[in-house]
Amino acid sequence: MAHYHCLLLDVDNTLLDFSASEHKALLETLENFGLPRSAETEAQYRAINTQLWAALERGEIKKDKLFTERFARFLRAIGAQGDPAALNRYYLDHLARHADAVPGVREVLSELGEVATLAAASNGVERVQLGRLEASGVRPYLDEVFISEKMGATKPSRRFFDLALRALGIENRAKVLMVGDSLKADIQGAAQAGIASCWYNPDGQENTTGIRPTYTISRLEELYDIVMEEEERQNVGLAHRRYQV
């Protein structure tokens, strides 16, 4: 029987390539509103957005405020005029249309789904994340999808994890593994909830924080060794597929 019976999986830059989707949606937004499209302006937006999401994880800003504030700060940074709310609406509409799956993710989920319950755990926007998971072909591999907007709690709060595990009927937290790319939201959140964590770090970033994941991987396929017993690993690639995508 698998070492972990339940996997909570972050969505952005874990299951789906958010960086690629963000790039496309942002360029479309800038073009539509007549704003400069360049590597510099994109970098400015991303820096502002990253700062605000970090503030959200610390409980310093509400999500609805974050969405308009990021474009308000961005407009000020590039010295342009515009309606931050309109930019945000257009951006989210176009982000929902881009569903770039992380290479190999469907195969990995298919294998892991043979031995464990799989659930997405995201701080993203519900309509955007659900649309992207469906369009990417990832949704059929997931038993549940938990999104902070609907749950009324945001990672890394313990409440987010408590609500998710309660919905899944999970009582033994020793058999639960959180997998994600954010040390703060995913790894620290898992620690606060009393569950094991796996930091997905494909770019080999240095961990300069005091947050310590249970495991660190650079490829999703490495989850086989963490989650599966030896006998189960021998069946990778041979198991009956439950899904047709």
Q: Three-state DSSP class for 106?
A: helix
Token output for 206: 């240095």
Strand positions, DSSP E, the chain: 6-9, 117-122, 144-147, 176-180, 196-200, 215-217
Element (H, E) at 78: helix 63-78
93 is catalytic: no
Contact by Cβ (8 Å): 245, 106: yes
Residue 118, beta-bridge partner list: 7
Residue 16, beta-bridge partner list: 12, 101
| Residue 177, amino acid | L
Residue owning tokens 């509409």: 93
Cα(71)–Cα(181) distance, integer angstroms: 24
Q: Which residues are catalytic?
A: 10
